[in-house]
Structure 1
Amino acid sequence: MIENLLKESTVQLQVDASNWEEAGIKAGNLLLENNYIKEDYINRMLEAVYEYGPYIVIAPGMALFHARPENSVNNICMSMITLKEPVEFGAGDKDPVNLVFALGAIDHDSHLKAMAELMTILQDDQLVADIKNEKDSAKVLEMIYQTLD
């Protein structure tokens, strides 16, 4: 499923972001530019962090922006950005973050397979290190797809 979600148009590497909000906006904009979400979904992803704190930092150095599935998501979708310089999310020993995902779900269940595949990727420390250092999105996608084969 990740092969259908992460593609060159939803992956951007070595992105400049001065803070976690900007990182979330940039990850969300990749989904917006592909017409997978409506603009208010980006705001709702940020509002969730304001309301609940940095729970989106799912592992050291990695964050997954998302919001409740509502009518702001046109299709299940995911984006990924790596940050040129890591940023603080206020997540204690999981900070700083330099690998950021944004997920848009259309309901409570359709994204579960994508999440399981994402966890497979994120548990591979060498793959994560390679992704964070790579500058070619086609190579990153190839590495991810090979891991899931």
Structure 2
Amino acid sequence: EVVAAAVVAPMRQEAYHAVRGGGAWATGAKDGERRLACRPAPPLDQALVSTGFNYVRDVRDHQADVARRLIPLLRDIRRSGSAAVDLCDVAAGRLDGYYERGLHPWDLAAGDLIAREAGALTGGRPGQAPSHDLTVAATPGVFEPLQRLLEDFGAWHD
């Protein structure tokens, strides 16, 4: 069980941190320290969501198919390249949701706690915790519909 977390995004000159039960915080060169909170949930068709892609071609092809099916149902999908930073962006209100298949514990642990401490919901497949099979994080109003679509589209398998 993760009780403390830190993520550093050097190109942004930002660091994020959280302690279980103590909220999530960001420290940046421009804004100093500020408490993080998810933004209010938009309707799903206005949600800005991020994802990542595997390096294995067959896995990536399936992930691209899932993204292709999701894009018309969302405002847009982004890809930053860092699961930890994407989870912090949900916490900071820059994204409404994030999902990815294939994460390792070191990709997920810190960002998951930071997102939850900022008010995000996190999980995997319905009723499961985030895992290598699927990680989903989103504002409360976006989480369930996004998770349901990912389940319907088979985002949890290759």
Would you call these one fold, judging by a TM-score over 0.5? no
What TM-score results when the alignment is normalised by the length of structure 1? Answer: 0.30
The higher radius of gyration belongs to 2
User: Which structure carries more helix by proportion?
Assistant: 1
What TM-score results when the alignment is normalised by the length of structure 2? Answer: 0.29
